[in-house]
Structure 1
């Protein structure tokens, strides 16, 4: 199957929906930020949660992993349901559910209740987020779409950094004695405002010829992601029991069965959960390959640096969060220039971004080695700022590339595939780099473990840069 199949199916579209105006774009970008903020916001709150709820390390990892795995497993299904029932309808339902589950997290009486609420929160995010990209794809064209996609990518990157900073500030502020609970309760008023804006400003869109839910594909994708992510996130804390190895052994068979079922459905003229014909688009395929190492390194870095600064350098949540402020500021300023740079230099900007980010990571390694344990905002400022600028040259532009050739009729499927890939890679980053770091700490010390983790991230950045050399010159 090839692009021909995709373009042939794309002609079956409805009349163009209303254009997404400024308030509508702001609303969907606000919704895009919430799930990513919540993936990272708990990193600096974990020590307080451990103390307050008497939670073991394995349960604490479930607080992070339960959200990430549920989110990753259900994202593609969320995109398909939006195509089927209407993206605005799913957006509103998902956002309302996200607010309710955030409230449940904030009011959790014990650690296991928090884990359950976090799993439900991840499922709600999976219903909401795919509708953001699908709505942008279906309601924008040309320069308007390019700008909207650039803003989406910038929002995603900023949300990942800002979540950690906001988490530290909220925990330290201890608003009305809420402590760590504020990192979840803060979502509630934001969701209420988002719902009011969405009702008025976000247009309804759906696929002209929606396909029924791919039951076998959904089950096999969920099994594939669970058998990979669950043992990697829980294995170290649980002592690598037999079930973790059995689960990892099942993963390649589950993934192979999923791909076989999807190819068979695609060839039969149905629309599977992840159509292989959609993956035939070179822009989507190459963009996804770039998102994987970038996201693994990004999430692994954020998790590791939060632990290192608090448990190793002895910083409280606010200084630990604010140490990343230069990264957020540099990301914001650089991402604003991204569309102009892409228009002038094409995808060479992505390669340049990998080089710049690599330099930033080297500077952070130098600061950690030279100044440990006296690291904080000042010591990390040069490396964090340079790394943030490099990230901003990559992430928004790669996200724009992934969806550049996806037809509007398949916007929900395409966005679900992209965000699932990103979220799975984010979960893998926490699992792999986090496990490596925590395994090395008692053996070689905190400083050396941090440097090794940064070296592994640097290897991923090099891979991203090499892969970016194969990108087409222009982004549509």
Structure 2
């Protein structure tokens, strides 16, 4: 699509001069960076480190809680603190790269992330671990936006498509490896470090990044001097905090009234942020977020798809993890290994999507990915309902593979599609917006899980036990030799305990009803335990089924939004197109 005069990119592009400075030269004089593929390797390793850290701690959370002590709220803050600080810093981090240099900000992020990882690995008190994780997330928020921005300004044409394809593949691989490796790293207690190794493993990776990044990354920044929009930073941070904190902590806090007030208050604050961005654009042309980007069809429509898709993925990731580890009682290692087929599927399609499929079929690749994802979700739904509590990891290989294949077809091309027509001067800001958009989607997805999955869990558990009641009474009388009256009392106590347990916010807390005398009777305990295992698997499968239906609906919404994405996928940056004397851009057309 044509870019309006307001959005027209600069006619000059940066190449490095002596030292670390940059100077604008005619775009035609710019030559490809000879170290760009080594630079890509460094960026992908950094992206892998961040994405791995975002998932591996979730799987190892029980081991962390046991090792460092503290209540369930400590573990929640270890996980949520990272997500929150990460999301709040993304837009600012991206703009800092545009202003002060993307390589410089990337290195700052790597150094801070590595030191915070060391602090988390050496933490002796719960508060030290929480603070380290929040600092870690903050520096990740500075580091991560530079990755997409540097890819955008370093590569062009088919090389850019290949670089983004590798980035998408690393994203899927890191998420799956995190889920698969968190349990073993904590359980194996390598070198006597236990759960600490999941943080300390970042140290050698970070050191390598500090050594090689300055050697292979070319510095880039906006060609025209920009100023930091401090008021915009404050408004954006406060608005996102008011919105995200209740979403991330709502279920654990019981969805208090102040949480809804906070989310409502975020609307005028974010509206004030938008108004200030418009004024700042007029005053000095240095807003924190360039609003003109939203007039670019590929950017605005791509963000809509990105948000909807990650809402669904957030629901799916939390839903199946809870189902396997809590509902079925699988170990973190088994649950992680079951997810490997998802990893394989995502890896297979992510590279092919950008390098082969998108250049030939355009947005139809995304739509095919949505269809495959929904198919996998419905297959998962059937398997969990058909096999019940006796389901095995092998029964879930195909549905997890299908969801992974669909994930790769969508997640890999989306970042490139969203920023494909963004002027290079705004690459960092746009990258920060893309990542913030995805984090918001995950947060909303997590909040929906609380409503869709957990809200009905107590009812599902009660109805499942009601279906068991007649057989359980018979077995208690015949096998445990209870009187009919004792059997009725035991069944009632078992039902009350099971419902209270699934409605408990802290899974480590045993409800008072579970200490009832009938449940401590040595005669009845083995019989009740066998029925409880089946009831838990069945009730969690019912709640998962509801979640999967909603997940399929959200992905279907993303499918519909994909029609707003341009049929032609631009593979060249706008600067290159305009500065090559009317040369036709390299695009991918939808057939």
Q: TM-score range by the shorter chain?
A: over 0.9
The alpha carbon displacement at 1:434 in A equals: 4.5
Alignment of 1:193-208 (within 5 A): 193-208=208-223
Distance in structure 2 (CA, Å) of the matches to 1:41 and 1:437: 23
CA 1:153–1:318 in structure 2 vs 1: closer, same or farther (change >3 Å)?
same
Higher relative contact order (CA 8 A, sep 6+): 1
Distance in structure 1 (CA, Å) of the matches to 2:91 and 2:386: 45
Q: Determine if the alignment matches structure 1 residue 357 to structure 2 residue 373.
A: yes
Question: SS of 2:551's equivalent?
Answer: helix
Q: Determine if the alignment matches structure 1 residue 324 to structure 2 residue 339.
A: yes
Distance in structure 2 (CA, Å) of the matches to 1:434 and 1:227: 19
Which residue in 1 is equivalent to 2:10?
10
User: Alignment partner for residue 306 of structure 1, among 296, 316, 321?
Assistant: 321
The structure with the largest alpha-carbon Rg is: 2
Alignment of 1:151-230 (within 5 A): 151-230=166-245
Which residue in 2 is equivalent to 1:347?
363
Q: Determine if the alignment matches structure 1 residue 440 to structure 2 residue 456.
A: yes
Alignment of 1:403-414 (within 5 A): 403-414=419-430
Distance in structure 2 (CA, Å) of the matches to 1:242 and 1:358: 35
CA 1:45–1:417 in structure 2 vs 1: closer, same or farther (change >3 Å)?
same
User: Alignment partner for residue 132 of structure 2, among 90, 101, 117?
Assistant: 117
Which residue in 2 is equivalent to 1:422?
438
The alpha carbon displacement at 1:61 in A equals: 2.3
User: Alignment partner for residue 128 of structure 1, among 121, 143, 148?
Assistant: 143
Question: SS of 1:94's equivalent?
Answer: helix
CA 1:43–1:304 in structure 2 vs 1: closer, same or farther (change >3 Å)?
farther
Distance in structure 2 (CA, Å) of the matches to 1:374 and 1:44: 23
1:36-67 Cα offsets, whole Å, 9 max, x none, are 22221122112222333344333322222111
1:418-460 Cα offsets, whole Å, 9 max, x none, are 1111122223323332554334333323222222222221111
Distance in structure 1 (CA, Å) of the matches to 2:195 and 2:459: 31
Which residue in 1 is equivalent to 2:569?
475
Which residue in 1 is equivalent to 2:21?
none
8 Å contact 1:87–1:204 — kept in the other structure?
A: yes
Higher helix proportion: 1
Distance in structure 2 (CA, Å) of the matches to 1:116 and 1:432: 27
The alpha carbon displacement at 1:358 in A equals: 0.4
Q: Determine if the alignment matches structure 1 residue 396 to structure 2 residue 412.
A: yes
Distance in structure 1 (CA, Å) of the matches to 2:268 and 2:356: 45
The alpha carbon displacement at 1:132 in A equals: 0.9
CA 1:420–1:10 in structure 2 vs 1: closer, same or farther (change >3 Å)?
farther
8 Å contact 1:406–1:414 — kept in the other structure?
A: yes
TM-score (norm 2): 0.77
CA 1:233–1:137 in structure 2 vs 1: closer, same or farther (change >3 Å)?
same
CA 1:258–1:209 in structure 2 vs 1: closer, same or farther (change >3 Å)?
same
Distance in structure 2 (CA, Å) of the matches to 1:365 and 1:106: 39
Which residue in 1 is equivalent to 2:20?
none
The number of residue pairs the alignment matches comes to 475
Which residue in 2 is equivalent to 1:263?
278
8 Å contact 1:40–1:160 — kept in the other structure?
A: yes
Alignment of 1:59-74 (within 5 A): 59-74=74-89
Q: Determine if the alignment matches structure 1 residue 292 to structure 2 residue 316.
A: no
Distance in structure 1 (CA, Å) of the matches to 2:451 and 2:216: 44
The alpha carbon displacement at 1:125 in A equals: 0.2
8 Å contact 1:58–1:238 — kept in the other structure?
A: no
Distance in structure 2 (CA, Å) of the matches to 1:207 and 1:280: 20
User: What is the RMSD computed on CA atoms of the aligned residues?
Assistant: 1.9
The alpha carbon displacement at 1:126 in A equals: 0.9
TM-score (norm 1): 0.95
Which residue in 1 is equivalent to 2:390?
374
8 Å contact 1:350–1:394 — kept in the other structure?
A: yes
Distance in structure 2 (CA, Å) of the matches to 1:356 and 1:55: 43
Distance in structure 2 (CA, Å) of the matches to 1:463 and 1:286: 13
Alignment of 1:458-469 (within 5 A): 458-469=552-563
